[in-house]
Structures are given as structure tokens and as C-alpha cells.
Amino acid sequence: MRTPLFTLVMLAVAAALYLSFRFVGNDYLFFLGYVVLQYVVIATAWNILGGYCGYVNFGSAGFFAIGVYSTIFFYNIGQAPEEVFPEFLLTPMKWIFPLPLPVLIVLGGVFAGLIGLGMGYLTLRLRGVFFAIATLALAVVLETFIVNWSFVGGSRGAYVIPPENIPVFGPFIQYLFVLMLLLAVASVVAARLIERSRLGIGFATIRDDELAAETSGVPTLRLKLIATVLSGALFGMAGAPFPFYIGYVEPNSAFNLSYAVNAIAMPMIGGTTSWVGPMIGALILSTLQQVVTVTISSAVNLLITGLLLIGFVILAPNGLIGLWHDWTGRRSKS
């Protein structure tokens, strides 16, 4: 399927989802849908570096939090511009601030992408487990930085008060949901586009054999940097609306390890070599977690992730996509 057509199909599915949620009319569905879609973006973001290039990023929570805190930063400026800007700038700045949410999402993406570029330069010469540890360390460094930065709340945390209602969409959560829905569609379309492009072939050569890739003319370092920037930017964009969703953010929640774990578990369970895997993995696992949180307890949901991850790594290392290929392959042979 060509990309424009695929995009239209995805948008149609998204529209149908939104309309059916509206038809049901329960706001909880939107809250649940937001989280699930957020994980679709996160899983897809992780997979660009982890699945396509084979570089396992344990610092996903760090990139997500950059998006979160970029929003907090600009939101706080918007709350009290007179404390930030000198007199002569105040009038134009009052025009600009508070920034609308789509702009905040883009900004979150830009900052996380830039940090991704920096992290790439520092760590991409490392391979395998060393790279994974370096990314985890980066997240810890970032968290320490945020904890000590009082403008964004430091360890006390920061409040964001979303408006209750918004024109066209009605309840604010519906607006958030639609934004995340569009972001999820955009990230899946982007992942699919990358996978089929020259860039995606280059990524796959890095995953398969970096040395052979270089001697075949693939500029591996540059491609890895592109991958970290894209992946980081998507994480940041997934994190940017989060303060508006949750209302109160503190470093522990923004840098929560569960983001890093889920970012890895979802593509692994779905299958890492194609855009379908992270999407399916995120939809299934995250829905399951939400259901479990409501019906059993919120403590159980990470346990489920862990158990499923172990199960899949042992029994189906190529994820659900791998199982599907095995199954269809066997059927076509017999």
C-alpha cells in the first residue's frame, strides 16, 4: 500500500475510533485511550532505534520526561511572564504565551530530538549492553538535573491546570485524546515510511552487521544519529501533553522506570522488525495494563509486563509478528 493511501486508512480508523468513543460518551474511555495511544507512540519511538537499528535504549523515560518538562517549562513561563521577561518584551510575549498544546508537543519533540543527538554523539560508539547502560545513565543524569531545577518544580513537582472544556471537542480530555491519536497515526506512518525507505534499509544493515554496512558504503554513525534524533523526538512528543493529562508532575512520575520497561516490552512482544509490532504490542499490553489496574490493582500491571516479556523472550523471540509469520509460513507449506 502506498504511503498516502495508508495514511488515509489510518486516519479513517482513527476517526472511527474517536466517533465511536464519543458515541459511547464515557470520558473514562478517553482517559484509557489516551494512555494506550501514548504507548503506541512510545513503543514506535523505541523501535526506530531499538528494533530497526538494534540499539537497545534503556533511557526512554528520560526522553519522555524531556517532553514532559519542556511543557512544564513553557507552561510556567506562560503563568508568570512578568517574572521571566524584561518590561519591553512583556507585551509581545503575552501575545505568544500561553502556548497552545500542539506547539508544546512540537517543542517537546525538538528538545528531546536535540538531547537525542547529543546522547548519540556521546554513546553511539558503544555497543550492546554498554550502550544500554549509557542510555540508562543519561536518564539518571537528566532526572538529577530536573530535581535541582526549581523553575520546573524541582523535587516538589509542578502543577498544570488544564481548562475544563474546550471549543469543538468539549471536555479537555477529548482534545488530548485526539492530539494523541493524531500523534500515534503520525508516528506509525513515519515508522512505516522509514522502514521501506533507503534509510530503513540502512538501519537494517546496522542491526545485521555494522562492519559490513560500513564497507558497503552505509554511513553508520550518521544513520544512528538520525535514528536517535527521530526516536528521541517521538518520545518527547509523547511526553509533552502528559502534564495536561495528569495535572501534577514530579520527577519520579515523569522519569518512571515503567516507561523504559514498557517501551522495550511492547515492541518485543509485538515484534521489532516492522512497524506493526510495536503498535500491536502497545495496543494489547497497554490495554491489558489498564484493565488490570482497574479490575485488580495498579501494582499488578508492571508484573504482567514482566511476565509477558519473559514469556515472549523465551517462547517467541520474534514477537507476535514472528508467531504470525511462522503460522502463515507453515500453513502455506502444508
Partner 1 sequence: MSQIMGQPVTEVVDDDIAAPLLGIDQLGKRFGGFVALDTVDLSVPTGQRLGLIGPNGSGKSTLVNCISGTLQNETGSVRFNGQRVDGMPPHQRARLGLARSFQLPRPFRSMTVAENIRVPLLYTVGARHGVHLTQSELEDRCLEVLSLVALQDKARKSPLDLTQVEMRKLELARAMAAEPKLLIADESMAGLSHSEVEDIVALLIRLNQRGITIIMIEHIMRAVMAFSQRLVVLVSGRKVADGAPEDVIKDKDVVGAYLGT
List 38, 70, 205, 231, residue binding partner 1 (CB under 8 A): 205
# residues near partner 1 by CB under 8 A: 20
Q: Does 212 bind partner 1 (CB under 8 A)?
A: yes
Binders in 254-283 for partner 1, by CB under 8 A = 273
Cell (9 digits) for 207: 542491526
Q: Please state, in angstroms and rounded to a whole number, the distance separating the CA atoms of residues 166 and 174.
A: 9
Q: Residues 319, 274: contact at Cβ < 8 Å?
A: no
List 4, 25, 163, 217, residue binding partner 1 (CB under 8 A): 217
Q: Does 287 bind partner 1 (CB under 8 A)?
A: no
Q: Does 191 bind partner 1 (CB under 8 A)?
A: no
**Interface stretch with partner 1, choices 3-11, 100-108, 204-212, 234-242 (CB under 8 A):** 204-212
Minimum separation from the CB atom of position 124 to partner 1 (A): 13
Q: How does DSSP classify residue 1?
A: -
Number of helical (H) and strand (E) elements in the chain, helices listed first: 17, 4
List 7, 79, 220, 287, residue binding partner 1 (CB under 8 A): 220
Instruction: Provide DSSP, 47-82.
Output: HIIIIIS----S-HHHHHHHHHHHHHHHHHHHH-HH
Cell (9 digits) for 220: 553508520
List 101, 218, 229, 276, residue binding partner 1 (CB under 8 A): 218
**Interface stretch with partner 1, choices 20-28, 113-121, 143-151, 206-214 (CB under 8 A):** 206-214
Name which of 215 and 334 has its Cβ closer to partner 1: 215
List 1, 211, 314, 315, residue binding partner 1 (CB under 8 A): 211
Q: Please state, in angstroms and rounded to a whole number, the distance separating the CA atoms of residues 224 and 173.
A: 36
Q: Which residues of 214-226 are buried (b: 16+ CB within 10 A; e: fewer)?
A: eeeebebeebbbb
